[in-house]
């Protein structure tokens, strides 16, 4: 499932985390597939904003997402 792939990718990023555009590029996903799943992960407490930002490819600041430490259920 996509939510699991995004979660696992963010786990691999450790405390560096990743922006939406970095997740999309790494997992070869369009934004309209990545963002809803990342939002679901945030809503359910698996992922949170780190408080840091990094520039997007267009130069705009973007939130850096990190895992919270809450384990993602295997069914996700």
62-73 per-position pLDDT tens digit: 999 999 999 998
Give the other-Cβ count within 10 Å of 35's Cβ.
Answer: 15
The model's pTM:
0.93
Residue 76 has pLDDT above 70, yes or no: no
Give the whole-angstrom CA distance, residue 43 versus residue 13. 20
Fold annotation for 2-67: Arc Repressor Mutant, subunit A (1.10.10)
Every domain of the chain and the residues it spans: 2-67
């Amino acid at each position: 499932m996509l939510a699991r792939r995004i979660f696992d990718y963010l786990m691999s990023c450790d405390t560096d985390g990743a922006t939406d555009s970095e997740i999309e590029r790494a997992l070869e996903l369009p934004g309209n597939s990545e963002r809803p799943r990342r939002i679901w992960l945030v809503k359910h407490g698996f992922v949170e904003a780190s408080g840091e930002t990094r520039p997007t490819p267009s130069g705009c600041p973007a939130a850096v997402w990190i895992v919270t430490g809450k384990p993602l259920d295997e069914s996700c």
